Amino acid sequence: MQEILPKIYVFSGLGVDHRVFADIDFGNFEVIHIPWLQPQAKETIAAYATRLAALITDHYPILIGLSFGGIIAREIARIIPCKQIILIASAKNRWELPPVYRVIGISRLHHLIPGFLFTYSGRLTQWFFGVKTKDQKKLLAIILKETNPVFRSWAINALLTWSGKDHAPGNTVSIHGSKDRLIPIRNIAADFTLPGAGHFLTVTHAQEVSEHLQLILKQ
């Protein structure tokens, strides 16, 4: 009889997909990568999270969210009770995001930025994501180029205008890089800090992330 593995539900970040988890060892779990749905016109982040929650079949799931995926995981945890919420390079509430994000969101300055700029992977983008090797830069460039523009526009607005003010549940665990330039660690109450890791840490520091995840998932 085939062994039935416990499931974990994984949400990738804004502008990235399941490929950033290619080198992550989740241990003895069945990994379910939740795909991004096409957002509806003027859909709120809460409504979007409700539609994603419908894709989760477990009654008491374990959620893992990377960057924007962590914010979505936090929203889903408001809808359904979760056994564990693991945030990677993400924020537990809006106060952990850089204050400038709220300023941009309130002023709506992000709507003035041409969409094609978000698909460009130059030196500045590589610096923000913390990629260094040729393969890492190539992966980032491919993923940014292939990101659905409708989802990207909606997700950027959702991130910058996120109203999540409540404290995270006690079963929330945070893994963060000390050199994260998109969500700086100075604002984060991290449970595990990876020295030298940036925002692309599931790629650049896959072994360390894997070790922390397996430790957390054994609890």
**166-207 residue pLDDT tens:** 777 789 999 999 999 999 999 899 999 999 999 999 999 999
Provide the domain limits for residue 146.
Answer: 7-217
2 in a structural domain: no
Confidence of residue 18 (pLDDT cuts 50, 70, 90): confident
- Domain assignment present for residue 164? The answer is yes
Report the CATH number that the domain containing residue 103 is assigned in CATH: 3.40.50.1820
Mean pLDDT across 2-6: 72
Per residue in 34-84, pLDDT (tens digit) is 999 999 988 999 999 999 999 998 989 999 999 999 999 999 999 999 999
DSSP state, residue 16:
-
In the prediction, which pLDDT does 116 show? Answer: 42
Q: Which long-range contacts (CB under 8 A, 24 or more apart) does 46-55 make?
A: 46/75, 46/78, 48/72, 48/75, 48/154, 48/158, 49/75, 49/76, 49/78, 49/79, 50/79, 52/11, 52/76, 53/79, 53/80
Q: Identify which has the larger pLDDT, 148 or 175.
A: 175
Measuring CA to CA, which residue among 71, 170, 171, 176 is closest to residue 130?
Answer: 176
Mean pLDDT computed over every residue of the chain: 87
pLDDT at residue 3 greater than cutoff 80: no
- Per the model's pLDDT, the better-predicted residue between 79 and 107 turns out to be 79
Q: Is residue 189 part of a domain?
A: yes
How many independent structural domains does the chain possess? 1
The per-residue pLDDT for 120 is: 54
**32 lies in some domain:** yes
Q: What is the pLDDT of residue 36?
A: 92
- Residue 122 pLDDT > 80: no
